[in-house]
Structure 1
Amino acid sequence: MLEGNRVSRISVRGFAVASATAVTTVGAVVGVASGSTQGGAAEAAEPTAADATLLADISAGNQTQAQTASLTEQADAQSTAADAAAKKAAEEAARKQAAKDAAEKKAAAAKKAAEEKAAKERAESLKAARSASRTDFPQQASYTIAEVQSMARQMMPSDQFQCFSNIVDHESGWNYQASNPSSGAYGLVQALPGSKMASAGADWKTNPATQIKWGLNYMNSRYDSPCGAWEFWQANHWY
C-alpha cells in the first residue's frame, strides 16, 4: 500500500503540470485502483492541489516579471526618444539664435557705416559751404540790422543761419556795437574780450562782417556748427 501510494503521488505530480483539474481526477482513480480508501485518495489529492497552486503562482510571477521588463523597456525607449527630441530642439533653438544674432550684428554694422558716411558727407558739405561763403563786403559808416543779417546769411550755410540768429538775438539783438561794460564783451556775438575778434580783422569794432566771421569760426571750432552752439546755449544760457 505504501508503494502504491508513492506511485500515485508521482503520477499525479506529472499530470499537475498540464492541469490542476486533471491532477485531482487522476489522483482519485489511481487511489481506487490501488485499494486506497477515500481518506487515502483525499490524502493524495491534497499535495497535488498544492503543487498545482505553486505552479500557477510561478507562472503568474513569470508573467508579472515579463510585463515589468516590457514596461521598463518601453519607459527606457520613451526616455531615450524624449532626450533625443530635447537635444534636437535645443540645437535648433541655438541655430536660430545664432542666425538672429548674426543678422542683428550685420544690421548694426550697416547702420553704423551709414551714419558715419552721412556724418562725413555732412561735414564735407559744411566745409564746402564755408569755403564758398562770402566774406568781402564794402565797408560802410553804419549798418542796419537788416544789412547785418543779410551779411550773415551770405557768410554761412542756409541751414545754420537760424541757429546763429538765435544766439545773436540773445547776445546783442543784432547790434554790432553792443558792449557789456561789466565784462568787456563786445559785438554781435559778445566776444569776451572783444579784442579776440582781431584775429578775424583789425576792423572788428566797426565791421559786422569781421564779427560774423570770427563768431562763425568760434562756433565751428568749439561746437562744430552754429546749431551745435545754439544747442549748448539752450542748456546753459551761454556758449
Structure 2
Amino acid sequence: MSRISVRGFAVASATAVTTVGSVVGVASGNTTQTPSEDAEALVGSSTLLADLPAGQQAQVQTASLTQQADSQAIAADTTAKKDAEAAARKKAAEDAVSKQKAAEKAAQEAKEREEAKKEAASRSATRDPSSFAPQSSYTIAEVQSMARQIVPADQFQCFSNIVDHESSWNYQADNPTSDAFGLVQALPGSKMSSAGADWQTNPATQIKWGLGYMEDRYGGPCGAWEFWQANNWY
C-alpha cells in the first residue's frame, strides 16, 4: 500500500486541519495545543495518512471531500447567480423594447385617429353642390368661393392648382382640339352629366364631378395634383 502524506489534506481543509491536529495532539501527549498549532506540527513532521488509525484516516478524507463539495457548491451558486442576473438584464432590455414599440404604435394610432377626425370634420363642413342657387353666370371669384365650400379644406389647394392649369377657373372653357370641357376639363365634357344635367352651366356641378373623379382615381385632389405634376395631365 502506498503511504500518502497528510500534508495535502491538512492544507486543503479547515475541518481536516482541526481533525488531524487533534489526532497529533493525542499521539504526542500534548492536549493544550490549538488546532492550528496541531496542523502546523502535523505538516512539519510530515505525518503520513497511513500512520493514522483507519477511523481517523476516514475523518481526514471526509473533511477534505466535504470542503471540495462546499467549494463546488459555492462556485455553482456564483455561476447560477451570474446567469440569473444576465437573464434578468436580457429580460429587462426585451421589456423595454416591447414597451417602446407599444408606445410608438399607440402614438401612431392616436395620430391616425386624429387625422381621420379632422378629415371627417372637414368633410362634414363642406356644402352640398345642389344647395347653391343657379345663376345665369358666375365670376371667377364666385366659382372659387363655391369650390372652397365644396372641396375639403385640406384638399382645396391641390384642387385649385389643377383647375388653374386646366381652365384658369373658367367653367365654360372648351378645348378646341378635343371634347374636354369645364373647370376640370372632363373628357368628354358629357361625363359630368353623372353629377347633374346642368353640367354645362353650373360650376357647382362641375366641381362635384371633378372632386369625385379625383377621389375615385387618385384618392383625392392632392393625389391627382401629384400625378399631374409628373405627367402634365391627370
> TM-score band (shorter)?
0.5 to 0.7
Structure 1 position 152, deviation (Å): 1.7
| Match among 220, 229, 234 for residue 224 of structure 2 | 229
Decide which structure has the larger Cα Rg and report it. Answer: 1
**8 A Cα contact 1:129 1:156, kept in partner:** no
Structure 1 position 101, deviation (Å): 3.2
3-state SS, counterpart of residue 125 of structure 2: helix
Matches within 5 A, 1:98-113: 98-113=94-109
Are positions 1:90 and 2:86 aligned together?
Answer: yes
Matched pairs, number: 185
Partner letter of residue 88 of structure 2? E
Bigger relative contact order, structure 1 or 2, given CA contacts below 8 A and separation 6+?
2
- 1:167–1:135: structure 2 CA closer, same or farther, 3 Å change rule? farther
Partner of 1:139: 135
Whole-angstrom CA distance in 2 between matches of 1:117 and 1:150: 30
- 1:86–1:234: structure 2 CA closer, same or farther, 3 Å change rule? farther
Partner of 2:199: 204
Structure 1 position 227, deviation (Å): 2.8
Structure 1 position 134, deviation (Å): 6.9
3-state SS, counterpart of residue 130 of structure 1: coil
| Match among 154, 157, 160 for residue 162 of structure 1 | 157
Partner of 2:116: 120
Are positions 1:80 and 2:86 aligned together?
Answer: no
Structure 1 position 132, deviation (Å): 5.7
Whole-angstrom CA distance in 2 between matches of 1:186 and 1:145: 16
**8 A Cα contact 2:122 2:154, kept in partner:** no
Whole-angstrom CA distance in 1 between matches of 2:175 and 2:150: 26
Structure 1 position 74, deviation (Å): 9.4
Structure 1 position 209, deviation (Å): 2.2
Whole-angstrom CA distance in 1 between matches of 2:125 and 2:110: 22
**8 A Cα contact 1:160 1:227, kept in partner:** yes
Structure 1 position 173, deviation (Å): 1.6
Partner letter of residue 210 of structure 1? T
- 1:200–1:182: structure 2 CA closer, same or farther, 3 Å change rule? same
Partner letter of residue 185 of structure 1? A
Deviations 1:70-94 (A, max 9, x none): x988985675355224302222112
Matches within 5 A, 1:39-50: none
Whole-angstrom CA distance in 2 between matches of 1:183 and 1:58: 120
Whole-angstrom CA distance in 1 between matches of 2:96 and 2:206: 55
Unaligned runs of 5+ in 2: 1-27, 29-44, 50-64
Partner of 2:184: 189
Partner letter of residue 99 of structure 1? D
**8 A Cα contact 2:159 2:225, kept in partner:** yes
**8 A Cα contact 1:175 1:187, kept in partner:** yes
Deviations 1:33-70 (A, max 9, x none): xxxxxxxxxxxxxxxxxxxxxx86979xxxxxxxxx9x
Deviations 1:105-135 (A, max 9, x none): 4213412431342243134213312356674
**8 A Cα contact 1:171 1:189, kept in partner:** yes
Partner letter of residue 238 of structure 1? W
Whole-angstrom CA distance in 2 between matches of 1:120 and 1:154: 19
3-state SS, counterpart of residue 87 of structure 1: helix
Structure 1 position 172, deviation (Å): 1.6
TM-score (norm 2): 0.61
CA RMSD in angstroms, aligned pairs only: 3.8
Unaligned runs of 5+ in 1: 1-17, 19-54, 60-68
Whole-angstrom CA distance in 2 between matches of 1:57 and 1:235: 101
Whole-angstrom CA distance in 2 between matches of 1:134 and 1:158: 19
3-state SS, counterpart of residue 124 of structure 2: helix
Whole-angstrom CA distance in 1 between matches of 2:74 and 2:216: 73
**8 A Cα contact 1:164 1:227, kept in partner:** yes
TM-score (norm 1): 0.59
